[in-house]
Amino acid sequence: MMNVWGMTDVGLIRSENQDAYAVRAEDGFTVCVVCDGMGGPGGGRLASSLAVDAFLSSCMANLRPDMTAQQVQEVAEFAVAAANTAVYERSVRDGLRGMGTTLVSAVAWGEQALLSNVGDSRAYVIRPGGGGISRVTKDHSLVERLVDKGAITAEEARSYPGRNLITRALGPDPEALSDSYRIDLRPGDYLLLCTDGLVSTATDQEMEREILRGDDNACLDRLLDIARDQGAPDNVTAVLLRQQ
């Protein structure tokens, strides 16, 4: 059983919120998805909305209570492909080539979760009792490649020029490749899904601190306050799940 909270905000600079998220709980599964659209006025917002709807619909149509972890992964991968198709076909139909979106998702059931991502929206696990915060997903971005090569540090990547340039997205191409991660959940564990609007303004330590401070209903508001204190130059979206 999961408790879930979510928030999205346009930030202090952008005129339009191109992020989107959705949550659904059914048949023992909790499905969450967060997307960060791109493609200019209208295009990014449309892309993220289409991807969220397609991913969620596909998951809920195909998940079954008796599935193995491998089968759940296959459902999630199929849902990512469905989301990509929805965005790509709409972009071709409406002449919005280049429209796209990131995606990070969680399918949680029992004491485990299957996480998927495309682009630079992230998933973290936060464990109370000294377990700390760990990033689960890996960004598909140019700066992540530089970090992997040892050319820059993870801290330098937060402000590195071109940090928003991603190497994978849903929508620009007929097919898109996602990464999948399966994790075990303990009672009290948190999962955080968020767009780069939060990552670029709040440190991992700040996210851990606010989530573990207590008052789950207010911790996302506190994280949004941190983003705003840092100028909130981008849309800010986060979904928080807690294992009961």
pLDDT of residue 62: 98
Position 119, amino acid: G
Count other C-beta atoms under 10 Å from residue 199's C-beta: 24
Kindly report, residue by residue over 50-99, the tens digit of the pLDDT.
Answer: 999 999 999 999 999 999 999 999 999 999 999 999 999 999 999 988 89
* CA 218/CA 123 separation, integer angstroms: 20
Which pLDDT does position 97 carry in this prediction? 83
Question: Which tens digits make up the pLDDT trace of 18-33?
Answer: 999 999 999 999 999 9
pLDDT score at 20: 98
Whether the pLDDT of residue 41 is over 80: the answer is no
Q: How far is CA 27 from the centre of its chain?
A: 23
* Cα 72 to Cα 67, 112, 152, distances in angstroms: 6, 11, 36
Q: Read off the amino acid at residue 21.
A: Y
Instruction: Please give the pLDDT value at position 36.
Output: 98
Q: What is the mean pLDDT of residues 7-25?
A: 97
Q: How does pLDDT run across 100-158, given as a tens digit for each residue?
A: 999 999 999 999 999 999 999 999 999 998 899 999 999 999 888 988 898 888 888 87
164-214: pLDDT as tens digits: 889 999 999 999 999 999 999 999 999 999 999 999 999 999 999 999 997
